[in-house]
Amino acid sequence: MKKPILLILSTLIFCSCQKESIREKPNSSIDILDESALVLLDAGAKQEILAEGFDWTEGPLWVDDLNALLFTDIPKNAIYKVTNNGELSLYLTPSGYTGEIARGGEVGANGLILNSEGFLVLCQHGDRRMAQMESSVDNPKPFFLTLVDSYQGKRLNSPNDALYDRLGNLYFTDPPYGLEFNVNDPAKELDFQGIYCLKTDGELVLVDTISRPNGITFNPDQSKLLVANSDPKQALWYQYDIVSPGVVENKQLFFDATDWVGKDGFKGLPDGMKMHSSGNLFATGPGGVWVFDSAGKPIARILTGEATSNCALSPDERTLYMTADNYVLKLELK
Q: How confident is the model at residue 309 (pLDDT cuts 50, 70, 90)?
A: very high
Q: Is residue 330 part of a domain?
A: no
The amino acid at residue 259 is D
Q: What is the pLDDT of residues 162-208, one digit of tens each?
A: 999 999 999 999 999 999 999 999 999 999 999 999 999 999 999 99
Q: What is the pLDDT of residues 6-62, one digit of tens each?
A: 333 333 334 444 555 679 999 999 999 999 999 999 999 999 999 999 999 999 999
Q: Is residue 178 part of a domain?
A: yes
Element (H, E) at 309: strand 308-313
| pLDDT at position 22 | 78
Q: Is residue 293 part of a domain?
A: no
- Count the alpha carbons within 13 Å of 271 in the hemisphere toward its beta carbon: 27
Closest by Cα among 81, 40, 97 to 291: 40
Q: Is residue 42 part of a domain?
A: no
Average confidence (pLDDT) over 133-160: 98
- Across the chain, mean pLDDT equals 94
Q: Is residue 100 part of a domain?
A: yes
Closest by Cα among 77, 286, 271 to 161: 271
Q: How confident is the model at residue 2 (pLDDT cuts 50, 70, 90)?
A: very low
Q: Could you please report the per-residue DSSP string of 60-122? A: EEEETTTTEEEEEETTTTEEEEE-TT-EEEEEESSSS---SS---S--SEEEEEE-TTS-EEE
| pLDDT at position 326 | 98
| pLDDT at position 21 | 66
* CA 82 centroid distance within chain: 16
Query: What is the CATH number for 131?
Result: 2.120.10.30
Is the pLDDT confidence value at 230 over 80? yes
Domain range for 155:
2-16+53-266
What's the structural domain count of the chain?
1
| pLDDT at position 6 | 32
Is the pLDDT confidence value at 219 over 60? yes
Average confidence (pLDDT) over 198-221: 98
Q: Is residue 285 part of a domain?
A: no
